[in-house]
Amino acid sequence: IKYTNHFSDVIEGKEGRFRETLLGKRVDYSGRSVIVVGPSLSLHQCGLPLEIAIKLFQLFVIRDLITKRATSNVRIAKRKIWEKEPIVWEILQEVMRGHPVLLNRAPTLHRLGIQAFQPTLVEGRTISLHPLVCKGFNADFDGDQMAVH
């Protein structure tokens, strides 16, 4: 048990209230992966692996599967996603066109540490970036990781 005399002791430092309760929490519908160069991408695009994209946009895909009458309920929609049926990828492409994603490279020290991109699907398990956008993130392609929200 830690006894303190000052309010500032409670909120400051590594054991402070802010770090303990507000920072460093898990976030739903997000992902993290190593970044690689994507020279064929435009400056406003990022390449997302299928695995991350389906996790990020799962709720939208389920909604569209049901509204387009491809399935009758959520359980069947999740099964179609799990089985990677072709209609799922078509709907995922549609959904991604209307929803930009945020890429964040830790530590986020200034406002360019988080930027919005238009996602495109790529093969593999890495996030692709145009090489010219890396300066704002202070990123390079030697194993750096980025989070996507």
Q: What is the CATH number of the domain that holds 40?
A: 2.40.40.20
* Any domain includes 20: no
Read off the pLDDT of residues 18-71 as tens digits, 9 standing for 90 and up. Answer: 556 656 677 888 999 999 999 899 999 999 999 999 999 999 999 999 999 888
pLDDT band at 14 (very low <50, low <70, confident <90, very high): low
Q: Does residue 109 sit in the same domain as residue 146?
A: yes
Are 144 and 111 in the same domain?
A: yes
Q: Give the per-residue pLDDT at 67.
A: 92
**Per-residue pLDDT, 16:** 58
What is the average per-residue pLDDT within 72-93? 92
- Spatial neighbors of 11 by CB under 8 A, at least 6 apart, are 17, 18
Tens-place pLDDT, residues 84-119: 899 999 999 999 998 999 999 888 878 888 999 999
**Same structural domain, 106 and 149:** yes
pLDDT at 4: 55
Q: Let me know whether 92 and 103 are in one domain.
A: no
- 137 and 105 within one domain: yes
Residue 6 lies in a domain: no
Q: Are residues 149 and 124 in the same domain?
A: yes
Q: Are residues 37 and 103 in the same domain?
A: yes
Residue 16 belongs to some domain of the structure: no
Those residues with Cβ within 8 angstroms of residue 39's Cβ, 6 or more apart along the chain or in another chain: 130, 131
- On whether both 40 and 106 belong to a single domain, the answer is yes
Same domain, 77 and 139: no
Terminal Cα distance for the chain, rounded: 37
Q: What is the DSSP string of the chain?
A: ----S-HHHHHSSTTSHIIIIISS---SS-EEEEEEE-TTS-TTEEEEEHHHHHHHTHHHHHHHHHHTTS-SSHHHHHHHHHTT-HHHHHHHHHHHHT--EEEE-SS--SGGGEEEEEEEEESSSSEEE-GGGHHHHT--SSS-EEEE-
Domain assignment of residue 110, given as a range: 27-57+99-149
Note whether 92 and 106 are same-domain residues.
no
* Alpha-carbon separation of residue 36 from 1, 5, 57, 68, 90 (angstroms): 46, 50, 22, 35, 25
Q: Is residue 133 part of a domain?
A: yes
Amino acid 21: pLDDT? 61
Domain count for the chain: 2
Q: Number of C-alpha atoms within 13 angstroms, CB side, residue 40?
A: 4
For residue 22, what are the contacts with CB-CB under 8 A and spacing of at least 6? none
Query: Could you tell me the pLDDT band of residue 3, with boundaries at 50, 70 and 90?
Result: low
User: Based on the domain organization, do 109 and 145 belong to the same domain?
Assistant: yes
The model's confidence at residue 132, banded by pLDDT at 50, 70 and 90, is very high
